[in-house]
Amino acid sequence: MDQTVAVRGSPAAHTKTKLYRFLHSRKILQNWDLYLMLLPAILFYIVFHYAPMYGAQLAFKDFNAMEGIWGSPLTSSYGFGHFIRWFQSPFLVRLVSNTLLLNLYTLVFGFPLPIILALMINELRNKKLAKAISNVTYIPFFLSAAVIVGMVRNFVHVDYGVVNMAIIALGGEAINFFIEAEWFRFLFVSSGIWQVTGWNSIIFIAALAGVDPELHESATIDGANRFHRLIYINLPSIAPTIIILLILNLGTVMTVGFERAFLFQHDLNLSRSDVISTYVYRIGIQGAQFSFSSAIGLFNSVINCTILVVANAISRKVSDTSLW
The domain limits of the chain are 2-59, 91-319
Over residues 151-171, the mean pLDDT reads 91
Share of the chain above pLDDT 90, in %: 54
Identify the pLDDT of residue 6. Answer: 44
Which CATH class, in words, describes the domain spanning 91-319? mainly alpha
Q: 32 or 91: whose pLDDT is higher?
A: 91
pLDDT tens digits, residue range 70-102?
Answer: 888 888 888 899 999 999 999 999 999 999 999
Over residues 243-251, the mean pLDDT reads 92
Identify the pLDDT of residue 2. Answer: 45
Over residues 107-122, the mean pLDDT reads 93
Identify the pLDDT of residue 16. Answer: 58
Mean pLDDT of the chain: 87
Identify the pLDDT of residue 5. Answer: 43
Q: How many other C-beta atoms lie within 10 A of the C-beta of residue 117?
A: 21
Say if CB 299 and CB 313 are below 8 A apart.
Answer: no
Say if CB 85 and CB 94 are below 8 A apart.
Answer: no
pLDDT tens digits, residue range 199-235?
Answer: 999 999 999 988 888 988 899 988 888 889 999 999 9
Rounded CA-CA distance 285/301 in Å is 19
pLDDT at 9 over 90: no
Contacts of 113 (CB under 8 A, 6+ apart): 193, 197
Q: Which amino acid is at 282?
A: R
Q: How far is CA 242 from CA 46, 73, 158, 237, in A?
A: 28, 46, 39, 10
Over residues 305-323, the mean pLDDT reads 90
- The pTM assigned to this predicted structure is 0.82
Identify the pLDDT of residue 114. Answer: 95
Identify the pLDDT of residue 13. Answer: 58
Say if CB 234 and CB 122 are below 8 A apart.
Answer: yes
User: Nearest 5°: CA angle at 11, between 6 and 16?
Assistant: 105
Rounded CA-CA distance 199/42 in Å is 23
pLDDT at 3 over 60: no
